[in-house]
Chains A and B, each alone.
Chain A
Amino acid sequence: MERIPIIKIEGMLVISVQTDLHDKLALQLQEDILNHIQDTGARGILIDLSAIDIVDSFMGRVLSDTAHMARILGATTVIVGIQPEVAITLVELGLDLQGVHVALNADRGMDLLRQLQREGF
């Protein structure tokens, strides 16, 4: 089965989603991220969506659920690279990714993760 790769960099899990995710693949990624947190003890998760142009309500929910689940396992999630067009569509659709950390790009996302960890989140 198709899988989204998860790599570990500086104690963080980094995921760059490069393909239009169907529902099962999105849920598989959620499960893989949680298993990786348990296996590696990672405390930060960076999810890059810069190659993704369709985030519908299902995908939005999977992303925010994943961040909340990761939180329960002691890891902080930052979603980065959301395109302006996707942001416009998400808000019109009625989704605001509440409670999820976001950053403009991967560099800023890594900075935010380090900062959150220093602050003890």
Chain B
Amino acid sequence: MSVTQTETVRVTSEPDIVTARQKARQVAKQIGFSMVNQIKIATGVSELARNIIKYGGSDGQVEISVREENGKKGILIVCSDQGPGIEDIDQAMQDGYTTAGGLGAGLPGTKRLMDEFKVESTVGEGTTVTCCKWL
């Protein structure tokens, strides 16, 4: 498996959400993703970057990389923050569950847009969401 680091976007305010999703779209396009998948990837990144602003203490980053494994190529997205963390990940993954007055579509919705999706969180330390979509 090889991962080529391409872009890191620091997310500390709302306009950074736009920067992160546009960068993700750019990288997806370079890798050769179809239009619909470019948009799914960019929309997923938008959801995850917004979570950094809404729940992650407004300080985190989105890393967008190219991943190659067994002849397959894909995009790897790692969103991390040093916020309060998620107490109950299973609950956070339920459609419609929200603690900040949102729609509760962010995490479960993004999972549906991606091929691989993992949430790791430690209360008091932060949250890392890792996801991948294969070409």
Contacts and interface: CB of A to CB of B under 8 A. Distances in A.
A53 interface: yes
Contacts of A93: 43, 47, 105, 109-110, 112-113
Contact of B105 (A22, A23, A57, A85): A57
A99 interface: no
Contacts, number: 73
A54 B36 contact: no
B133 interface: no
Interface residues of A, number: 22
Given A92-B113, A93-B113, A94-B95, A57 B103 contact: yes
A9 to B, nearest CB: 29
A24 B47 CA distance: 16
A94 B42 contact: no
Nearest to A95: B105
A61 B103 contact: yes
Contacts of B42: 53-54
A21 B17 CA distance: 10
Nearest to B19: A22
A61 B42 CA distance: 18
Interface in B81-116: 95, 102-103, 105-106, 108-110, 112-113
Which 7 A-B pairs give the minimum distances between C-beta atoms?
A93-B109, A56-B46, A57-B105, A85-B36, A94-B105, A85-B39, A23-B14
Interface of B: 14-15, 17-18, 21-22, 25, 35-36, 38-40, 42-43, 46-47, 50, 95, 102-103, 105-106, 108-110, 112-113
